[in-house]
Amino acid sequence: MDILITDSTPASQTVSASRVTLNLPRPPRAFYRHGWQSWSLAAWTDLSPLPIQKPDIFHVLQTDAAYAREPLPHGSWVGAAEMDDGRIVLLGALGMDAHVRLDGSQLEGWYESGEGEWFIHFGVEQNAFPAYAQALGERFGFAAARPAPRIWCSWYSLYTLIDEPTLHKVFDGLGDLPFDVLQVDDGWQVSLGDWEANEKFPAGMAALADKIKSTGRKAGLWLAPLLAAKSSRLFREHPDWFLKDEAGKFVSAGFNWGEWTYALDTTHPAAQEWLAALMKQVRAWGFDYLKLDFLYAGALRGKRHTEMPREAAYRLGLKIMREAMGADAYFLACGAPIVPSLGLCDALRVGPDVAGEWESHRDAVLLQNPATPGARNAIRTTVNRLWLSPLVQTDPDVAYFAAKGNSLTVEQRLLLQGLALVCGFKATSDLPQWMTPAERESLRAFLEDTNEYRPEGGYRYRVASRRVDFTPAIELPPRPNKLESIQRTIFAALGNQPWALRLLDWMGKRSLKKTVQRL
Ligand code: 9PG
């Protein structure tokens, strides 16, 4: 379907088509790209091609690998073009398995299979995104009105170095700080796919949940249910539950934790039963807050037991898990394709991971990778996804309060705290043992804040009684210069080597061990 955009185009319209082309009066000056899953970039960019994000080995993990090499500005489900007069043309799918691309002055959208609805808006940005969100909400559902829980999460201080005594020390140290959930992250399980307590948790997961509940809070747990490590018992015993490509090879769900992972086929009846049983098991242990991570694995391309579009297959898997965990569980989706998760989860991570560092020169400039952990990457993408807040509780990832254990400046820590208040989703991983009394009080004040904020135009907000300006996080890093281009080639090649990634992993763990031992 072809549509001409002129001054008499209505502000909002909805059409049904497998493919739409909007013919703009002139080429626009900027394009809003919206990445596929939580960690993928969302940002306004100019029209020149973005350098391909490196290393390629992470495309599956960080982008929609199917489009990682597309030179034209593009995005998942939605795209918007900014015209010279400041007005924008937004083209957004109201269904799943859809993609958008800008080719000169043509804004095109297509469904990967079949046809579906498209929402088109011509007007100012402040109206376009809320109108699109409203139309999506009518089809997928809206966010709950109740406030999001306040969470302490183990990842950003302890990473995988969690064990029973360390977590007990932390839980005790949190005292009466007003957290609603203490969430145990990656590191408790035998293996990815084998979701049982490992040797660091000899008392078992039910005992850990009991310990948390004895402090008057809900217990939270991290799992990555839609992928499994190659070495896991699950994969070895049930290879037929995993996605294969046309050539019969297992579809990789990415290289992480020093090994290859594979993607669960959410249409396989036995895999579906296993997923439901897993959710019931973690609820029976006593965990009421579930952070389900690396969910993109369920929506990768591949041959399925029952053929269906990939995001429909993903949504089916999510539905099965939601039903099994029960409506009373709080479900945070992470590493998750955005639109297919709406209506089934309580909260959605809407940016890449933060880190105790503003930005890494290697990742930002040399690898041109906006999806790697870092405060700046997390703020940039989250701020560009705030329009999702009517649809789902938006998780911007944790904020930092202590000066110890990170290299963020006071201003940078305040930006992350301000973002949490704007999102209405408050979490931290700070160790009570690392906080000064003043830092602990600032954390308490943050947790008790009533969350009122006011947009003041651009990327500026008034939060509580102060101004927060996210502008310093928004711009994309400069392109590499000549010398940096040479370094880029070297780092990109190294980054594709499993042995180099294992070495980095090992070095990171070693330095972290020293820090945690002193707790
Ligand atoms: C646990 C972590 C934390 C974190 C999640 C997720 O390789 N990667 O691109 C990559 C991206 C994100 C990531 C790990 C690896 O972090 O977002 O909060 O739960 O998993 O492993």
Q: Which tokens is 315 given?
A: 């949504």
CA torsion through residues 301, 302, 304, 306, sign: positive
Strands 106-111 and 227-229: unpaired
Is 334 a pocket residue for ligand 1 (Cβ < 6 Å)?
yes
SS3 359: coil
DSSP notation for 322-356: HHHH-TTSEEEE-S-BSGGGTTT-SEEE-S----S
Atom of ligand 1 nearest to the CA of 335: 17
Asked if 283 and 261 touch (Cβ cutoff 8 Å), the reply is no
**What pLDDT is attached to residue 357?**
97
Is 353 a pocket residue for ligand 1 (Cβ < 6 Å)?
yes
Nearest CA to ligand 1 atom 21: 186
- C-alpha 35 to ligand 1 mean position (Å): 16
Nearest CA to ligand 1 atom 17: 353
Rounded to whole angstroms, the Cα distance separating 226 from 223 reads: 9
- C-alpha 155 to ligand 1 mean position (Å): 9
Asked if 210 and 286 touch (Cβ cutoff 8 Å), the reply is yes
Per-residue buried b or exposed e for 424-450, using 16+ beta carbons within 10 Å of the residue's own CB: bbbbbbbbbebbeeebbebbeebbebe
Nearest CA to ligand 1 atom 1: 186
CA torsion through residues 359, 363, 366, 367, sign: negative
**What pLDDT is attached to residue 519?**
75
- C-alpha 192 to ligand 1 mean position (Å): 13
Atom of ligand 1 nearest to the CA of 257: 21
Is 39 a pocket residue for ligand 1 (Cβ < 6 Å)?
yes
pTM: 0.97
| Residue to substitute in 152, 154, 155, 360 for testing ligand 1 pocket (most ligand atoms within 8 angstroms of CB) | 155
- C-alpha 119 to ligand 1 mean position (Å): 32
Question: Sheet of 181-184: strands edge to edge?
Answer: 393-395, 347-349, 330-333, 287-292, 218-223, 181-184, 151-153, 427-428
- C-alpha 353 to ligand 1 mean position (Å): 7
3-state secondary structure 415-461: HHHHHHHHHCCCEECCCHHHCCHHHHHHHHHHHHCCCCEEECCCCEE
- C-alpha 97 to ligand 1 mean position (Å): 24
Rounded to whole angstroms, the Cα distance separating 243 from 224 reads: 16
- pLDDT string in tens for the chain (519-residue length): 999 999 999 999 999 999 999 999 999 999 999 999 999 999 999 999 889 999 999 999 999 999 999 999 999 999 999 999 999 999 999 999 999 999 999 999 999 999 999 999 999 999 999 999 999 999 999 999 899 999 999 999 999 999 999 999 999 999 999 999 999 999 999 999 999 999 999 999 999 999 999 999 999 999 999 999 999 999 999 999 999 999 999 999 999 888 899 999 999 999 999 999 999 999 999 999 999 999 999 999 999 999 999 999 999 999 999 999 999 999 999 999 999 999 999 999 999 999 999 999 999 999 999 999 999 999 999 999 999 999 999 999 999 999 999 999 999 999 999 999 999 999 999 999 999 999 999 999 999 998 678 899 899 999 877 899 999 999 999 999 999 999 999 999 999 888 998 998 888 888 888 777 767
- Residue 422: phi and psi, rounded to 5, are -65, -40
Is 156 a pocket residue for ligand 1 (Cβ < 6 Å)?
no
Nearest CA to ligand 1 atom 13: 353
Rounded to whole angstroms, the Cα distance separating 201 from 434 reads: 24
Strands 19-23 and 2-4: parallel
Is 255 a pocket residue for ligand 1 (Cβ < 6 Å)?
no
Rounded to whole angstroms, the Cα distance separating 75 from 33 reads: 5
**Under 8 Å CB-to-CB from 144, ≥6 apart: which residues?**
346, 393
Is 185 a pocket residue for ligand 1 (Cβ < 6 Å)?
yes
| Residue to substitute in 186, 255, 259, 398 for testing ligand 1 pocket (most ligand atoms within 8 angstroms of CB) | 186
